[in-house]
Structures are given as C-alpha cells and as structure tokens.
Structure 1
Amino acid sequence: METIKPENLNELKGSILLQEYERVIVDTDRFPVEEINPILLGIYGEVGSIMAASKKYRREKKAYPSYKYEVEEEFGDALWYFSTLCRRLNVELAEVFDTVSNNDQENAPISQIITFDKVERLDSALIELGCMAAQLLKIEKDSPNLREELIHFARLYLQAMQSTGLYFAKVVKGNLIKTIGRFTVPRKDSLPDFDFPFPEEEQIPRKFEIHITQRKSGQSYLRWNGVFIGSPLTDNIRDPDGYRFHDVFHLSYAAILHWSPTFRSLINQKRKSDLSFDENQDGGRAIVVEEGLTAWLYSYSKGIDYFEGHDSLSFDVLKTIKKFVQGYEVEQCPLKLWEDAILQGYSVFRQVRKNNGGIVIGDRANRKISYRPLG
C-alpha cells in the first residue's frame, strides 16, 4: 500500500488506508479546532445534498447525466465532515469503519470495507441516513453513547452508498483529490508544465510583457515585442464594463496555469509538431472553452467588485471551472492553482481597467503575473 503524497494523488493506484486518509486531510480542515457545530451542520447538509441529487435523478433520469459523479462527490464531502467530527471527538475514523465491517485484519485497506449482503432500497437507505445525521446534531463530547452513534452513522452511510451503486474506495480517492487540490498550496515542482517536451518556438514564453493601450475610439490594443497582436476590442455590451481588457485573464492563465489556447493563438505559438495537441488542446474548441469560461467568470465577478478584497473563491465557482475544462490538459491543475490564477489576474485587471491600459508581465517560472503603468 502506498503512502499518500498530495503531489501524486492523480497517479495513486494502490490501496488506501483510512489512517492515511485521516492523516492527509488534517491540513484541509480550516475550521477552528474547538468548534463542533459547523462540522455537524456540514454532515447534515451533505447528507441533504445526497438526497437532493437522488430526488433530481428520479425526476429527470437520463436528462441528469452527471448524477453519479455529483452524488459520489457529495458522499465524499459527507465523509470529510464525518472524519473531521471523529477527530474532534478523539475517535479514530478507521476504528469506526473497522467495527462496521467486522474486520479482523488491522489496518485493512479501504477496498476491503464491507459490502452488505442485503442492498437496501435507495429511498429507505437515504431516509435512515438522514435521520441519523439529524440525530448527530445533538451529539456531545461527553455522551456515553458517543462511539455507538458514530458507528451507527458509518453503517448507514455505507448502506446508502451501496444502494446508490458507488464504491467506497473511489469516493475516498475522489474526495482526497478534490480537498487536497482545493486547500493545499501545491509544490511548484509537482505542477504540470504542458510545454516542457515541445520546442521553444511552440512554447508559451517563460517571461513575457504585453502592452495594453486604449485609443480614442475606446478600443483596446495588445502589443508583444513591439508587434500588435490580436484584434482591437471593445466591451461589446450596452453598459461599458471594462471587458475590452479581458485578455489580462488569458495572460494570467498562461503565466500561472501554463495554459491558454487563446494566448497561444494570439502569438502564433501552437504546438503544431504534435497533431493531437495542435487539434485537441490548442484548437478552436479549446479556445471557445477558455473564452466561455472567462466570460462566465467575468459576469459573476461584476456582482462582487471584480474580486476586490477577496483572498479566496467560492468552492462552487471552482467546481464549475473544473467542469468547464474537463477533457483538456488544464484539468490536471489543482483548484488552488486556479484560485491563484484568477485572483492574481483580477488584481492586474483592476489596475488595467482603472488606468485604461498598462503593461502586463507574466513570469511562468514563478507562476506570477504583475502590472506596470505605461510610460
């Protein structure tokens, strides 16, 4: 069995121990250690989300193709909160599940967690789990039945998961990848560099300076190494909002994520030596995905002052981004890196918008983007 390292979660192929899961997710717990109520509410809320997804599937059936993925994610989130609760109550998560599965083998891997001979009907299993989640809301650290209540919840949790047709090992791995990617600052040497095997003329420049200017017409222009690139842009909306400067976000993706099919196209540095990359990663559809994601995020940001004063993004926003880029190389980037790219990009964008232009400096080695005034 492998020791879990945050930097190699995507390549993890061996069995996982619950002790390892507990150890690794400790650093993703951002709640005050003395607080238990947010954790109890989190368990209750995640069980409610499992129920809501199941109800939606019943109603929409094939029109809800992402059901299995979403309910798997909700089961993973519920496990995270349950593990966090056990830690605050000084009860080992692995011991709780070992008791449920009657495992004789100490430190048994997750793949050996019991499956029940009788599969409960999904509705019944979820209702029982929901009732138990409600009962946990009243739990206290000095309760004489503390351990039994936790074991009972674990049993109903596994029964509901089995009724849904999910595998515990997959739920655990998915939750690890999600939470580590969201809350842990990644090591730079563990991050993907999508240009590494390609010749220099097909790589996004390791360092670049892009001059953004606005003319009297209101159109914005980009210059790289003294040459105009791309087309002049306006806001393309009735009420001007600064979107003419949105290329800043593509530059931020390029510098921090090492990904931007739009910027590659602007500077004519696509990876044409590999037909697959040229068509599937740098082609028109990838550009549309990036532009669509950027436009959606911009509309969202307008209601919160373009992220001014923010030091983090909503988890829901980051999960939506992950869905946007599924199937493209950039999906390998952890959510924490996406958050960094967006917040840095909007910090520079606000300065460009305020000054109607400026110089945007990208530094891929340090995954940074910065601003310098023109002149």
Structure 2
Amino acid sequence: MDFDHYQSETVRLADSNDTAHELVPMLGLGAHVGELLLAQQRYLSESLVAETSRGMVARELGMVLRWSALLAHVNGLTLNTIANRNLIKVDERARSLDFPGIAALPGQDAILGLAEYAELAAETDQEISAGVDPLSLSVPMLGLAGEVGTLLVEEKKRYRRDSKIDDWPSFIGIELGDLLWYTATVARHAGLGLEEVAGRDLARAARSSSLSSDATEQKSSFDEDFPATERVPRQLHLRFQERTVNGQAVVTMTLLAATPNAFPDGPISRGSGKFQGFKVGEALGDEVTDNSRRVDAYRYHDAIHLGFLAVLGWSPNLRGLLQVKRKSNSVTDETEDGARAIFAEEGIAAILAKQATLSRQFEAPNLVPEDLLDLIALVVEDLEVSSLPYRMWREAISQGFTVMRQLSEGGGGYVLADLDARSLQYSKFPFLT
C-alpha cells in the first residue's frame, strides 16, 4: 500500500466533521499519542502483559497515522510528499552526525509504499536494538509526544495570534514528516509492520464509517435460509405494561402481533416435552424489575434487545424468548443461539446501560463512543453479527435506548419492531398492524 492510496482511503472514510477544521485531527493526534504513552507506562509498571500492550500500540499507531493523513489533507498536503521530504531530512541529519544515512535514497517525487518508507527510515534509527525492548520503544514514543507537543503549542499561538510561523502548511509538513518517522520507528521496535498497522486501521475506519458498503448490510436477518419456524418475524408489535408490586415497579412484555406468523395456533411440539414458537397475546419472558438499588429505566431494557433485533436482525435473547432457535443446524443452534451468545448480548446491554448516563442516553447515533463499539466488536467477534459495521450498531443502540426512555417516561406503552425498515418505534397507543 502506498501513501497516496492510504491517504485517499482515510479521507474518503472520514466523517465530515473530522476534516472541517484542522484542530480536530490535531487534537486526535494528541489524544492517541497520549494513549500510546499510557500503554507503555502500564507495560513498564507491569500492569499490562506484553501482547496486550503490543495490541494497544498497534491500534493507537493506526489512529496516529489516520489523524496525520487527515491533518495533511486539511492543509492541502500529501503524505507521499511529506514522507519523501522527511527521508531527505533524516538522511542529512544522520550523515551530519557521522551516522550511516540511507544507502539508496529514492527520488523526491517517488511513489512511496508504507513498508518501503519504514525500511528506509530504519536506516537512520540510532536505537539499534530490535524487538520489544523498553528503552528502544520508549525513545521514539517520547519523540512522538514531542512532535505532537510542538504542533499543539504552535496551534495555541495561532489562536492567540502570536505565532511566528509564516508558512503554516510547510511547518505542518515538516512536523508530520517527523511524526511519520517516529510512528514507523515505534512500529518497528514493537515488532509491527507499518503497512499492517495502516491496513488494520483502514479496516477499522471502514467499519465505523457512514459510507460502509451496502454489501455488509445486505442480510437484514441471519435466518433467511432457515425454515419459517426458525425465523424471527419481520414485524413484532409488543405491549409493555407497568404495575407496582410491594412498592416496586414491575414490567411485563406481551406479544400482540407478529408478521409473518409461522405459529397461528401457538407453539408446536418438538417432542420430549419441548416446543418451538410463540403464541400471540401471551407474555414474552418473565416480569422485569430494575434489578438495582436505585430506580432507573432498566426494567424496560428489552427495548435494547429490540433495537438490536430491528436494526441488526440479531438478538439471541429475543430469539430464545420467541422460541425460534435454529435447531435444524446444530452448530448454529449451539454457537449463535445458545447460552454463550445470549450472555454476550445481555452483557453488552448492561455495559451500554451504564455508559448511557455519560452519553446523553445515546439520543443520537453519533453519541455512541467508538471505544465502546470496539469493545462490542471484541465481544461478538466469533458471532454472525460481527460482520456488520459500526454505523448499524450505533443506529441500533440509539433506537433501543430512545424507545427505552420513552417507555419509562410513559409508564409503558407499545413498541413496533420492523426488521425490514430497520426501525424501532414507540407509541402510547396500539399500532395499526
């Protein structure tokens, strides 16, 4: 992968707000270099094992590269030109210190690959130790911090109108060149390939981007190839009723309608006293309380699962309540619809409920933090839903929490989950279905 391709893809996948003003990518650089230093500090204090530290370094280096590409773009610069000029600079500096320079310096206009740049930059690295050595890794990390610090200090001066920099794009290009050198050097001392780091971050950016390909969304459910009796209905109409028992609010969720309904006469026997399916007009699951010392809206948390189901076409929890597990395939039944998948979904819902108080209850999709989505991606990485982009997760979470809040404020009500429209709606009155 060359720098031009990497930068064009990074810009294409970026949110428009990320390139609206250079302060956004500049602060992004500061934040993720800080995370790099934190990972190294925790590694040195033995609160992180080496492999975990290495994974964090890879992720944060990817973000440093991403913000560098965006900062260059905002200032009308290309990473390819920046990288070429940086090689000339570090070669001259190395030779001035009687240190071997770059044996075969490319032409100033050469199209550089990230791997090629990293190899050439390594020829001017005075820290000759290879591998994950604490000192050899810490030195370029401190260099990264210094370069970002210089950028931030000059940006502050520009805001105060006392900067002495006359040619701002040229200044940005020089500083970003040094950042690239330190980024490549950190990667090498951490046993990482710069191109590998960039590729992984592009994949992460693609998952998070609002421009995610329709190909990742073409399956609006994960059961279309299964028998009708093992599919979740495309529309679910539910009633949530709240009552007070011994001074505690208790909520019941009742299925009012399902389309299509493969069980017009109710559940069908699978033998041995087991059944498949649901009955319209009956409660789904047990009564739910807040399960907490304080009163909150968690008694309506099934709305979170309904958000997952409506937008993602995925909810092992609700599939279990509806008794439409995919029994015809033993592997799918065990791995996708079994207890472990249900526990994973419940865990995600519980974490989201705690995080929601810090993120305005996810009233808009962009309020779902990316690091939270990264955690979710880790939890579901072996499940079918892992193929879906962050954009869909944000929408599912926001819709689910919006309806949960509406249910709480209304003391109950009606919910319509439409898997074809990927929408979850609330009403005080029954929907016309």
Aligned to 1:57: 43
Tell me which residue corresponds to 2:258.
none
Taking a change above 3 Å as real, the CA distance of residues 98 and 227 of structure 1, as seen in their structure-2 partners, is farther
**Match in the other structure for 1:35:** 21
Compare 347-356 and 218-227 and name the one that shifted more. 218-227
Unaligned runs of 5+ in 2: 88-104, 130-135, 156-164, 256-279
Structure 1 window deviating more from structure 2 (288-297 vs 306-315): it is 306-315
**1: CA distance, partners of 2:224 / 2:172:** 53
Task: Quote the residue 2:227 is aligned against.
Answer: 199
The percent identity for this pair of structures is 26
Tell me the equivalent position of 1:360.
415
Partner Cα separation in structure 2 for residue 251 and residue 94 of structure 1: 47
Aligned-partner SS, 1:233: coil
Q: Which residue of 131, 136, 139 maps to 1:124?
A: 139
- The alignment status of 1:172 with 2:198, answered yes or no, reads yes
- Aligned 8 A contact 1:192 1:332 in 2: no
| Other structure's SS at 2:223 match | coil
1:233 Cα deviation from its structure 2 partner: 1.3
Structure 1, 144-153 or 171-180: larger mean CA deviation: 144-153
Cα distance in structure 1, aligned partners of 2:310 and 2:20: 40
Equivalent residue letter for 2:70: T
Q: 1:103 to 1:243 in 2, by over 3 A?
A: same
- Three-state SS of the structure 1 residue aligned to 2:73 is helix
Q: Is 2:100 aligned against 1:74?
A: no
Aligned to 2:392: 337
- TM-score, normalising length: structure 1: 0.86
Which one of 259, 277, 282 corresponds to residue 337 of structure 2?
282
Q: Secondary structure at the match of 1:358?
A: strand
Matches within 5 A, 1:1-375: 16-27=1-12, 28-31=14-17, 33=19, 35-60=21-46, 63=49, 65-99=51-85, 102-103=105-106, 106-115=110-119, 116-117=122-123, 119=128, 121-137=136-152, 138=154, 140=165, 142-143=167-168, 147-191=173-217, 193=219, 194-217=222-245, 218-224=249-255, 225-302=280-357, 306-308=361-363, 312-375=367-430
Task: Decide whether aligned partners of structure 1 residues 123 and 299 sit closer, same or farther in structure 2, where only a CA change above 3 A counts.
Answer: closer
Distance 1:45 1:141, change over 3 A: farther
Q: Secondary structure at the match of 1:227?
A: coil
How far apart are residue 191 of structure 1 and its match?
Answer: 1.4
Q: Displacement, 1:72?
A: 1.0
How many Å separate the matches in 2 of 1:287 and 1:147?
50
Distance 1:30 1:64, change over 3 A: farther
Larger radius of gyration: 2
Structure 1 unpaired stretches of 5+: 1-15
Query: Across the two proteins, how many residue pairs are aligned to each other?
Result: 360
More deviation in 365-374 or 266-275?
365-374
2:5 partner amino acid: E
CA positional deviation for 1:257? 1.1
Partner of 1:165, secondary structure, is coil
Q: Which amino acid aligns with 1:44?
A: G
Displacement of 1:167 after TM fit?
A: 1.4
Task: Work out the CA distance in 1 between the residues paired with 2:36 and 2:366.
Answer: 29
Indicate the RMSD between aligned Cα atoms, in angstroms.
Answer: 2.7
